[in-house]
Structure 1
């Protein structure tokens, strides 16, 4: 967006921000109802910006941490992009179309060991999750920072190093869902997609900027991505060729908000991307698009994609199109920089104490 266009849109941003500020004020004063769940801790992961801050891998980190503490976590999201409505508990019979690409990815990632549910109404969704057998001992809300009807025990705010909320503006002049002041609700702020070697001086500068909006006692943490080796996507022809490695010429298929970090990783690893089929976030791939991609694929080449996109490629309607296409996804895990993991654990420890020994 050009600076001139941004200036023209600023008045609309101010109006939108004012409406949201009134909404938040009503919640803060208790004039709009909120629900706190005393049965189990509710942990919320979200952002101020529209799309692409790394919520899904951070939610996965949080779920794995809870499991390591002996907890039985459950995941609840709205289920963006699904073709169903209401509460739905994910089963092996579902797909990205019925629960959304991210919940379907999460269900597969944890092998069915974690209850993954979707519901537009998070209050009702949590209530229904707690009625499941066995009941979860913790509920993680994915992308619920603006869902004020639920009052979480811990509210985790994510923001990208390259696109921090403190340098952005409210829609439509920028990409913020609400004003920067919304950071004051966070119990922890995580700067995501950082360079692994981010210096202490740069971390201090970013922390000072965050402190202008977040509460002074709130920890400001930093995380980076670790990329794993290519994994075959089920239902495709990935088993017919060796998984692409650095130095290989590949095709790339993405339907995510920010493909730049993945492209940077592939370039650093020595991959040569011959063709990049780039689509919008949560894009529902069509058979025609897959056929067009296959036409670009030369013998011996593999197609790389993200784990979220792989979830959508497993739609039954695409089965015939992807069956002869060798598709692999690049897994992502979160790694905290410096003492970030220990500081986040100390924030969560009071809600999930380790059982006494002896």
Structure 2
């Protein structure tokens, strides 16, 4: 914890008090939450950024979209549009935000919408001719104006919420007790070989209730990078000189997976809108080399002048164990709440 964060400790206490009062008012029904009569699954975290929400939403899309009509609803962080927007062929990352646009491009059989007002967003989705049967709320754990039927809380292995503190001293958006709302807690970005002993230690540390389930996942990188017109095996480009760029919260694992001693890495802020000056910088650094970026950054850059030398590396969330139990829990929730 740096000195400035220590100095701001009184503000963290105040912020924690305010968020606790807000949660108390929602818990007691004094502040209104809207419940919808379709399955609504909220995915989010207690901390600020970097827990792997996007690959977890994509996992749920793959699990559910062959069986049900699925919609995702996000805030659309840093988009240049306002209000409710339903993705269409005219949409781009500026209109939707990078992550929703990524969902739209990867999963053409689902509906993708953005709205800062999640209540209005769901109402608008349900007013469509082809209304969804399941809504996935992206980064909506603290959006208490909607009462989701099922909550999935994510926490990074190297940055557990139990070890964190409230903003601005720490990175928590609300107190650790907020974890009590979760039906499932997923510890993301784990080592692939995380032992049963360490999994048990984390379970005990988080002090979950007997009704809460916990799972452990790791980020699984694709074996290929993908460009506008081709894909190339990662093992073919590992040793060549290339430029790696990332505008995500925690880019180190991405860089480590691809880089060698000849590579240069450029880091930008999370959800970065690349300016003309940024493009000039990237182009001057790359020269004629491949430019490899994250999938989230690719959707912002693919129509730029970098397109011909630009590639992205897909990722997905993979369960260390008990994946079938997780799938069964989600499918049972959806089935029961569609039948009720």
TM-score of the two chains, using structure 1 as the length reference: 0.89
The match for 1:309 is 297
| 1:273/1:329 CA distance change after superposition, 3 Å | farther
Counterpart for residue 218 of structure 1: 212
Which residue matches 1:293?
282
Between the aligned partners of 1:50 and 1:92, the Cα distance in structure 2 is 31
**Aligned-CA RMSD value:** 1.9
Residue 162 of structure 1 and its aligned partner are, at CA, apart by: 0.6
Question: Does residue 91 of the first structure (1) align with residue 88 of the second (2)?
Answer: yes
State the partner residue of 2:223. Answer: 229
In 2, Cα distance between the equivalents of 1:313 and 1:171?
Answer: 32
CA distance in 2, matches of 1:231, 1:265: 12
* Pick aligned residue for 2:306 from 303, 310, 322: 322
Residue 91 (structure 1) shift? 0.9
CA displacement 1:282-335 (0-9 Å, x = unmatched): 010112211211112244x211100000011135xxx3x3245x1110000111
Q: CA deviation at 1:349?
A: 3.0
The answer on whether the counterparts of 2:224 and 2:231 sit within 8 Å (CA) in structure 1 is: no
User: Aligned equivalents of 1:295 and 1:334: distance in 2?
Assistant: 34
State the secondary structure of the residue aligned to 1:13.
helix
| Structure 1 residue ranges, 4+ long, deviating more than 6 angstroms after superposition | 240-243
Map of 2:36 onto structure 1: 37
* Contact 2:65–2:110 (CA under 8 A) maintained in structure 1: no
Determine whether 1:80 maps to 2:62.
no
Q: Which residue of 1 aligns with 2:320?
A: 337
Q: Is the 8 A contact 1:45 1:157 kept in 2?
A: yes
C-alpha separation between the residues in 1 aligned to 2:314 and 2:232?
19
Paired position in structure 1 for 2:104: 107
Aligned equivalents of 1:281 and 1:26: distance in 2?
Answer: 32
Cα distance in 1 for partners of 2:212, 2:333 equals 17
- Write out aligned runs for 1:1-358 (5 A): 1-2=1-2, 4-38=3-37, 40-68=38-66, 70-110=67-107, 112-211=108-207, 214-234=208-228, 245-267=237-259, 271-272=260-261, 274-299=263-288, 301-314=289-302, 319=304, 321-324=305-308, 326-339=309-322, 341-353=323-335
Deviations 1:241-300 (A, max 9, x none): 997532222211110001012123225xxx44621110000010112211211112244x
Cα deviation for residue 6 of structure 1 reads 3.4
Quote the Cα distance in structure 2 between the aligned partners of 1:233 and 1:80: 25
Give deviations 1:150-178, integer Å, cap 9, x for gaps.
Answer: 11111000000011111111110011111
User: Contact (CA 8 Å) 1:248, 1:272: kept in 2 or not?
Assistant: no
Aligned length: 335
Q: Conserved in 2, the CA contact under 8 Å of 1:250 and 1:272?
A: no
Contact (CA 8 Å) 1:230, 1:304: kept in 2 or not?
Answer: no
Kindly indicate whether the alpha-carbon contact (under 8 Å) linking 1:233 and 1:310 is maintained by their aligned counterparts in 2.
no
Moved more, 246-255 or 146-155: 246-255
Q: 1:125 & 1:241 partners in 2: Cα distance?
A: 39
1:272 and 1:199 mapped to 2: Cα distance?
31
Q: Distance in 1 between matches of 2:179 and 2:29?
A: 19
